[in-house]
Structure 1
Amino acid sequence: MKLIADTHTHTFRSGDAYSTLQENIAAAAKRQLSYLAVTDHSCLKPGGPDNWVHFTNQRLLPRFSEGVCLLYGIEADVIGPGGKLSVPDRVLDTQDWVIASMHADVMSPRTSEDHTQMWIGIAENKYVDVIGHIGDPIFSFEHRPVLQAFADAKKVVEVNTGSLLTRPNAYPVCRQIVTLCAELGVRIIVNSDAHFSNRIGDLASGVSLLQEIGFPEELVINADEHRFRKYLEHKGIRL
């Protein structure tokens, strides 16, 4: 399975990452990726940039660089009941690509029931494209009702290779989630969550997981150029 996009990546502006955007673009070109989304953390993440100035100014960046199509994005934090996010709608509305994630240094883990209700609220958020690294076991939730809500809302679930490599005990949780995604017909995307340029496009562990369970390739939106462009066009992004 050849993947053509990495849509969860960070620059030094995230506060906990170490490369420039240009270094990430060069790494994406070297990996022969067609698309790269820059999705820095929002302002509530320690060291994160200003929500308004940094993210709305991304429109000044070139759409294409070194043969790579750049998507302007953000990783927003889930911070409260109903799937409340750390970023106002007026900022989310300016972005090509919005990931919603839970981070322990922004929101302390709560009960499985709380996390379940938050994710169901996120499913109803029209601005969110991708549900980020939900295999993190410290943010446990009830898989079936959440994934069914994602399926109904046509959200995309992320297989995060960063989680597979760095989050303790994430692999079996990710495997359970992906298996259920296949059963329910939930679309997924494999991303690196790169915090340094040499991790851009490093997606092999995610592909290995999908192959292990026989995940249907037609549900992987970054496994096919036409499929990925169709998703972007559905969002109103024409390249």
Structure 2
Amino acid sequence: MNYELDIHTHTIASGHAYNTLQEMIVAAKEKGLKLLGVSDHAIAMPGTCHLFYFHNLKVVNRQYGDLELMLGSEVNIVGYNGELDLDEETLQGLDYAIASLHTPCIDPGTMEQNTNAYIKAMENPYINVIGHPDDSRYPVDYEQFVLAAKKNHVLIEINNSSLNPKGFRQNAYENDKTILTLCKKYDVPVCLNSDAHTISDIANTTFSAPLLAEVDFPDALIINTSVEKLKAFLSKK
């Protein structure tokens, strides 16, 4: 597979990542990416940056030789009705937004509560991706989830970090297998992301690529195969 982009990465601004923005850019160029997306954690995550950080992203250049930079945020879902920790004005100023459930920001609910939290977040016009929906600590009705992603034109992330055997998310392999099977059935695109918190992990698909091969997932539904494919998808919402 031709892997042109990675849009879930973190810099030191997130508080628990280890490289600067410039170091991430250099590493992405060295790895041959055409587009790097930096999605630092939004304000409900302990230790992350101030709201002003996201309001000031306009000052950062978006082109570095052959590498394009997109600046977004991994936004926290903080309520079971899809409430987010960034307001509409802030979300409008981002290049894109990933919405995720994190234990420091929301307690795991019932399957119905967690599914509703994701679906309501998808209905937000500024949410483009759902991040790592593969943690069994947050049980989800995956059929409802995948159909809602299709309806609301939102990408479902397959997160390489979740699949790392050293990771903390529970049962991610089986959950991602279920998600991919349903996405294949309903023709729903996915985004392969590294969730890199250090430069060595940028564009890492060590754990996600074998899973895609196992379920024979079609390249046509993988957004990372083309920058143009990503931009066309984002432009429709």
Within 1, Cα distance between the matches of 2:43 and 2:121?
Answer: 19
Within 1, Cα distance between the matches of 2:46 and 2:231?
Answer: 34
For 1:90, the equivalent position in structure 2 comes to 89
Which deviations, in whole Å up to 9, do the C-alpha atoms of 1:168-212 show, x marking residues without a partner? Answer: 421111111111111111110000000011111112322221111
For 2:7, the equivalent position in structure 1 comes to 7
Tell me if the contact between 2:192 and 2:224 (Cα under 8 Å) persists in the aligned partners: yes
Larger displacement relative to structure 2 (130-139 or 206-215): 206-215
Q: What is the TM-score when the length of structure 1 is the normalising length? A: 0.94
- Would you say 1:135 and 2:134 are equivalent positions? yes
Following TM superposition, the consecutive aligned residue runs of length 4 or more in structure 1 with deviations greater than 4 angstroms are: none
- 1:26-65 mapped onto 2 (5 Å cutoff): 26-51=26-51, 53-65=52-64
Within 2, Cα distance between the matches of 1:193 and 1:169?
Answer: 17
- 1:92-171 mapped onto 2 (5 Å cutoff): 92-165=91-164, 166=167, 167-171=169-173
Tell me if the contact between 1:25 and 1:66 (Cα under 8 Å) persists in the aligned partners: no
The number of aligned residues is 234
Q: Following TM superposition, by how much is the alpha carbon of 1:31 offset from its aligned partner in structure 2, in angstroms?
A: 0.9
Within 2, Cα distance between the matches of 1:39 and 1:8?
Answer: 6
Tell me if the contact between 2:112 and 2:140 (Cα under 8 Å) persists in the aligned partners: yes
Within 1, Cα distance between the matches of 2:86 and 2:8?
Answer: 17
For 1:18, the equivalent position in structure 2 comes to 18
Within 1, Cα distance between the matches of 2:170 and 2:103?
Answer: 14
Which deviations, in whole Å up to 9, do the C-alpha atoms of 1:33-76 show, x marking residues without a partner? Answer: 0001110001110111112x101211111111242100010000
Within 1, Cα distance between the matches of 2:27 and 2:99?
Answer: 25
Which deviations, in whole Å up to 9, do the C-alpha atoms of 1:94-147 show, x marking residues without a partner? Answer: 011100000001111111110011111112111000000001111111111121
Tell me if the contact between 1:26 and 1:66 (Cα under 8 Å) persists in the aligned partners: no
Within 2, Cα distance between the matches of 1:112 and 1:148?
Answer: 16
**3-state SS of the aligned residue for 1:186?**
coil
For 1:195, the equivalent position in structure 2 comes to 197
**3-state SS of the aligned residue for 1:40?**
strand
Which protein has the bigger helix share? 1
Among 196, 202, 206, the residue aligned to 1:204: 206
Tell me if the contact between 1:98 and 1:129 (Cα under 8 Å) persists in the aligned partners: yes
Amino acid at match of 2:11: T
Q: Following TM superposition, by how much is the alpha carbon of 1:232 offset from its aligned partner in structure 2, in angstroms?
A: 4.2
Structure 1: tracts of 5 or more residues without a match:
none
Q: Following TM superposition, by how much is the alpha carbon of 1:2 offset from its aligned partner in structure 2, in angstroms?
A: 1.8
Q: Following TM superposition, by how much is the alpha carbon of 1:81 offset from its aligned partner in structure 2, in angstroms?
A: 2.8
Tell me if the contact between 2:99 and 2:129 (Cα under 8 Å) persists in the aligned partners: yes
Q: Quickly say closer, same or farther: Cα 1:110–1:56, change in 2 above 3 A.
A: same
Within 2, Cα distance between the matches of 1:228 and 1:44?
Answer: 27
RMSD: 1.2
Amino acid at match of 1:19: N
Identical aligned pairs, as a percentage?
35
Tell me if the contact between 1:77 and 1:106 (Cα under 8 Å) persists in the aligned partners: yes
Amino acid at match of 1:98: A
